[in-house]
Amino acid sequence: MTPMEKIRLLTETRGFRFTKSLGQNFLTDENILRKMAQAADINKEDAVIEIGPGAGIVTEMLLQEAGRVLAVEIDKALIPFLEETLSIYPNFTLWHQDVLQADLAGWIKAQQEAGYKRIKVVGNLPYYVTTPIIMKLLEDQLPIDLMLFMIQKEVAQRLAAKPATKDYGALTVGAQFYCKAEKVFDVSPQVFIPKPNVASAVVRLTRHEVPPADIPDPALFFALVKAAFGQRRKTLHNALSVMPDVEDKAEVARRLGDAGIDPMRRGETL
């Protein structure tokens, strides 16, 4: 069944209506599916989590390539359709849950015990919740080898940004501390139903085997990063001086100077 046939079956025969608040935009282009499969390099030794299967278009491609697939879908209206159309695959598991609340760690542990060598996450993420999902997966430090997401193009550019560019920010630092981030290819709004108002892109996050820096207090580090980028036009001196527990603005300038950092620099240049 082609993507368009599957969407028509869902909408015309089953009466499904897209929910704008859930950011539902279903992929229709089979060429994009092939490019995603190639970018994720999925094989039978992989156990894959898919976030937001929707009509099951990407899911079916994953089921054909991977050893195991867990699809996590928040919209209860899609659950019967996914169960009916994908139950022919013995390697398919479906959870009706919010992925931000799901016990992914437990599922991953079970797959590792079953002998699957790599854990991967794939998803066409709703734009409104892209950053919370990605940062939760990273900060929970789950043993995920690779993540491949179709997201808003602007967010993909931020994830993969280089220092001292306009896209470089707290999200960039957070993602790149844990992963190598690459924007793989752009995706036109024309290949979705309904058509989104923004362009999309596919981004690949490959977890570092060794972190790029030895940080004894990650919580403090990320608090500093968020403060440095909180108001981009502020100097580091001013941005860090408004952090909680900072009582002496002059002490901030002294500490920056001791670290060899000009207090008048902005966070994006550091």
Mean pLDDT of 109-124: 97
Q: In what order do the strands lie in the sheet with 46-51?
A: 92-96, 68-73, 46-51, 118-124, 146-152, 200-207, 179-187
- The per-residue pLDDT for 88 is 95
- pLDDT tens for 25-41 read 888 899 999 999 999 99
Please name the residues in contact with 142: beta carbons below 8 A apart, sequence gap of 6 or more.
Answer: 104, 105, 108, 119
- Say if CB 172 and CB 161 are below 8 A apart: yes
Distance CA 75, CA 73 (A): 6
Tell me the CB-side half-sphere exposure of residue 49, using CA atoms within 13 A.
30
pLDDT tens for 126-148 read: 888 999 999 999 989 899 999 99
Residue 164 pLDDT: 82
Inform me whether the pLDDT recorded for 211 exceeds 90.
no
Percentage of the chain beyond pLDDT 70 is 99
